[in-house]
Structure 1
Amino acid sequence: MTKSHRTTPEVPGAPIRISGISKTYKDLTVLDHVDLDIHGGEFLTLLGASGSGKSTLLNILAGFVKPSSGTIEVDGVDMSRLPPHKRGLGMVFQHYALFPHMSVAENVAFPLKRLKVPKAEIAVRVAEALDLVELGRLSNRKPTEISGGQQQRVALARAIVFRPRVLLMDEPLGALDKMLREQLQLEIRKLHKDIGITFVFVTHDQDEALTMSDRIALLQDGKIVQLGTPEELYDAPNCRYAAEFVGVSNLFHGNVRNSTFVDGDHACEFKLPSGHRTEGTSLLIRPEHLRVAPAGAVTNPANDHVFATVEDCIYLGSSRTVQARTGAGALLVARTDVPRSPDGIHVGAQIQMHWEATDARVLA
């Protein structure tokens, strides 16, 4: 998406404070006393599996669902008892909710007409919103006459045309194919930077969250288990669930003893980096930190290692993934930027998988 030429002033994003939000249905707790501060102008993603509570939290923020307890403040104003149409928040749904009998421009103009904005101003603001999403040339077409990706852009334009300070998005890319999703991820990220408002985005896709977000709130069973930047969630997960949900994880199971991790499955002790967690039951090694070599090769004696049998070598163009199983039955995954398999690394080969202590992380 190229940079647009807007004449309207920058719209600052509003900060959001979510305090003690709970939601229960009879004996089912969907959200359990969630506290979350969202900075004005940031891109915050609610990430989690189905049933984690992320969409319910977004719908409570939008006003579509009433919380069992807790409050929602937007820019210091308590929105908890206001209906959706009085909250002044933009919303993009998963299935776009475009009016099929209206043109693209009419769909975008709809919220402005409801607000009784003068016709001349509507025309200017619709043109600016369509320019932002690069759809000005398609303004007279019906939604059925444009692609799914273009329909999503129309939904975005309609959500921002009335200049909200907060934009909410509920898995808006879920119905698109992989290539189009990846393209729109970057375009939405750029749109966020261009208009400067607060984005709250819901997804179950870890790659989507890592690509687009300033910060990610990872939910499990109605609670936020970790809140941080994409780098923090990937490089420094605070628990096993976070490690397994965000990225591919190689996990060894055991316990910490002084400066080593004692692995009960492999009857091994692995060195730990300085400043490691003093208690934990899992040791994490990400695939890019796991190196592979033939079983008899000479490797750095300072590295820890396990022996394994190669089960698969997967060519990915710019990289290659090696999957191997240890004698204790653990499946480990290594990823190398070199697309050619190292000599002696093939299906059925006996190999050693080794890593530096500084690349290991103890998890609760």
Structure 2
Amino acid sequence: MTNIASATPRATQPGASINVEQVRKVYGPATILDDISLDIRAGEFITLLGASGSGKSTLLNIIAGFIKADGGHVKVDGRDLTTVPAHKRGLGMVFQHYALFPHMTVFENVAYGLRRNGFPRKEIPALVDEALQMVEMGHLGKRRPSQLSGGQQQRVALARAVVFKPRVLLMDEPLGALDKMLREQLQLEIRRLHKEMGITFVFVTHDQEEALTMSDRIALLESGRIVQLGTPTELYETPSCRYAAEFIGVSNIFNGALQHGRFHDPANNAEHVVPADSPAGGTALMVRPERLSVQPIGLHTPSGHNSVEAIVEDCVYLGSDRSVHARTLGGDVLVARTPVPRGDDGIAAGAKVTLSWNVEDSRVLA
């Protein structure tokens, strides 16, 4: 159910800032959230991303007020809500499971919370119509949930959450029950809704592509801690650690050590040049698949490139691109994503190839 505070004054900025300060949650011997701090800007779309058990949903529910933290504070626009009940926080909430009333029409589902919270009866139809128009469901107000698709039901759940015009909208894996095509469609719809409303969105997902598509910033969680916070571009192009590199996108990773400006790769008996600003003490080198070039062995490697030799194990057709899987002499399986050639370029299973990449496309990881 959506949570609202009735008739709270609206600020000039539609969205509200959120400050999570050293929030801790423990269940028995397990630490679910380990003194997490996070500042969310007013009007921002931020995603809490992580694997199952990372603490992302627990953090969202602590912000919402459904779970009590064992330490720390949650502030919205500077107001400490740590001890305020969920139904008095003025925050909208959308769950993974829509929880629509099956005996009510779409219109009645959206209007239910307004009526329950004492909104003037004359204002309710206009508020509901506005919310349904936002999610492009105005023409289906008389239908019942059983007459709607999964995507349409989720739109109704969104309308029910935004009908109160909350300054913060919290979403806990709201697209998890939908198929891939519907998920992708609703990702863009939710992003559009965020831009139109200007309110603060806090979105929880374990789907990295979903996070990259929708977010202004992403907070990546592991074992109850935020391991990296940044824009989608920052998390993909410059992961701060190995976990971030492996969780976001596909990564080719060489194990070794950074010494005197070169990365020593003992498995492949190679030394790779790395960017000058690479962090000291790095133990892994990452290259994204789209940064790798593949060519038959013996051809000249461009200047300023690192390279390793490998044998192609498989080529996967992806439409405009192909995914080339090759095993290096040291046993590393690398993935390169390249355009599909017009003719036979000699890259096929069993072929001996050179994989090369620009020095600036290397990322040294702790």
TM range (shorter): over 0.9
Superposed CA offset, 1:168-206 (max 9, x none): 000000010001100100110010000000000000000
Matches within 5 A, 1:311-326: 311-326=313-328
What is the CA distance between 1:340 and its match in structure 2? 4.8
- Tell which deviates more after alignment, 41-50 or 331-340: 331-340
Residue 22 of structure 1: aligned partner: 24
Which of residues 154, 157, 174 is equivalent to 2:159?
157
- Asked if structure 2 preserves the Cα contact closer than 8 Å seen for 1:281 and 1:362, the reply is yes
What is the rounded CA distance, in whole Å, between the counterparts of 1:275 and 1:26 in structure 2?
43
What is the CA distance between 1:302 and its match in structure 2? 3.1
Q: How many residues align?
A: 357
Superposed CA offset, 1:112-167 (max 9, x none): 11221111111000000000001011001000101000000000000000010000
Gap regions ≥5 residues in structure 1: 1-7
Matches within 5 A, 1:3-22: 12-22=14-24
2:269 is aligned with 1:267: yes
3-state DSSP of counterpart to 1:354: strand
What is the CA distance between 1:311 and its match in structure 2? 1.2
- Asked if structure 2 preserves the Cα contact closer than 8 Å seen for 1:293 and 1:345, the reply is yes
Matches within 5 A, 1:187-202: 187-202=189-204
CA distance 1:202–1:85, shift in 2 (3 Å):
same
TM-score, length basis structure 1: 0.96
What is the CA distance between 1:28 and its match in structure 2? 0.6
Identity %: 62
What is the rounded CA distance, in whole Å, between the counterparts of 2:25 and 2:341 in structure 1?
49
What is the rounded CA distance, in whole Å, between the counterparts of 2:144 and 2:232 in structure 1?
38
What is the CA distance between 1:10 and its match in structure 2? 8.3
- Asked if structure 2 preserves the Cα contact closer than 8 Å seen for 1:317 and 1:339, the reply is no
Residue 6 of structure 2: aligned partner: none
What is the rounded CA distance, in whole Å, between the counterparts of 1:151 and 1:182 in structure 2?
16
What is the rounded CA distance, in whole Å, between the counterparts of 1:194 and 1:290 in structure 2?
39
CA distance 1:13–1:285, shift in 2 (3 Å):
same
- Tell which deviates more after alignment, 110-119 or 157-166: 110-119
Runs of 4+ residues deviating >3 angstroms:
8-11, 337-342
What is the rounded CA distance, in whole Å, between the counterparts of 1:77 and 1:361 in structure 2?
41
Residue 171 of structure 2: aligned partner: 169
What is the rounded CA distance, in whole Å, between the counterparts of 1:91 and 1:174 in structure 2?
15
Residue 150 of structure 2: aligned partner: 148
What is the rounded CA distance, in whole Å, between the counterparts of 1:186 and 1:27 in structure 2?
40
3-state DSSP of counterpart to 2:263: strand
Residue 295 of structure 1: aligned partner: 297
Superposed CA offset, 1:252-292 (max 9, x none): 01111111100121121001112221220000100111100
What is the CA distance between 1:352 and its match in structure 2? 0.8
What is the rounded CA distance, in whole Å, between the counterparts of 1:187 and 1:10 in structure 2?
25
Residue 237 of structure 1: aligned partner: 239
What is the CA distance between 1:299 and its match in structure 2? 2.3
What is the rounded CA distance, in whole Å, between the counterparts of 2:28 and 2:321 in structure 1?
50
Which of residues 252, 255, 268 is equivalent to 2:254?
252
3-state DSSP of counterpart to 1:23: strand
2:206 is aligned with 1:204: yes
Superposed CA offset, 1:6-55 (max 9, x none): xx998610000000100001111000000000000000000000000000
What is the rounded CA distance, in whole Å, between the counterparts of 1:43 and 1:111 in structure 2?
25
3-state DSSP of counterpart to 1:194: helix
Gap regions ≥5 residues in structure 2: 1-9
The one-letter code matched in structure 2 to 1:22 is: R
Residue 339 of structure 2: aligned partner: 337
Residue 3 of structure 1: aligned partner: none
3-state DSSP of counterpart to 1:72: strand
Which of residues 60, 63, 67 is equivalent to 2:62?
60
The one-letter code matched in structure 2 to 1:41 is: G
